[in-house]
Amino acid sequence: MRLANKVAIVVGAGQTPGETIGNGRATAVLFAREGATVLLVDRDEASAGDTLRMIEAEGGTGSVLRADITVEDDACAIASTCVDRYGRIDVLHNNVGIGAGDSGVTTMDRDVWDRIFDVNLTGMMLTCKYVIPVMREQGSGAIVNISSIAAVASTRIAAYTSSKAAVNALTQHLASSNARYGIRVNAIMPGLLDTPMAIESISAASGTPVDEVREQRNRVVPLNRRMGTAWDCAYAALFLASDEAGFVTGAILPVDGGQGVKIG
């Protein structure tokens, strides 16, 4: 019960369909297992509803809100709805991220670049914009942003990499500017994880069989030559959201099986 009596917002609590569990769903389920009441936010209301049913089947509590974080009114509604339903906001977990259509700069479609930055960075800024005043009034709160090891690694995709590097910078800005209010802001940089968004989406986009995609990704991971799972990311988020991390802010935590160690 590491989040007992806390109210947590998980943005991106649904997931891409697939064989495994996604980061947002795993985090929402784990937060509920640990005692939090969870507001499940997603653009896909039905998928967030599936997450809620999983939580309720285990005896947890929460509710669903459909929102598109690239729409400022929707981002505002996330904070106001949480306060209306539960009276406070203890945790904001920003999980939404995309990378479809990304490429190198010389072949970059401007619309793709703008869309990736709108979702990965601007949407995160907007959720924080409206949640932070609530946390400031409370004098407490924890924000966990999902970045990526791509933020500090060499990749062939310009927009995703750049947007995640910006997430790290935004996280540290928010940490430094809100520490005096008792608000902690940290980020997680997942490496290669076996999630539907990673495996099934890459398989569909590339025409590569799912098992082959898994094997290719496994080979890149130093630790046991095996990808992590959404639960690895979720447990890191649980620590950062909990009071156990009460003296941790501005941290950028790799959860990558040692992939980031190879930088440089």
Could you list the active site residues? 160
Query: Looking up tokens 């398989």, which residue turns up?
Result: 203
d(CA 182, CA 263): 33
d(CA 118, CA 139): 29
Sheet holding 7-11, edge to edge: 61-66, 37-42, 7-11, 91-94, 141-146, 183-190, 252-255
The burial of 66, by beta-carbon neighbours within 10 Å (0-12 exposed, 13-18 middle, 19 or more buried), is given as middle
d(CA 16, CA 195): 9
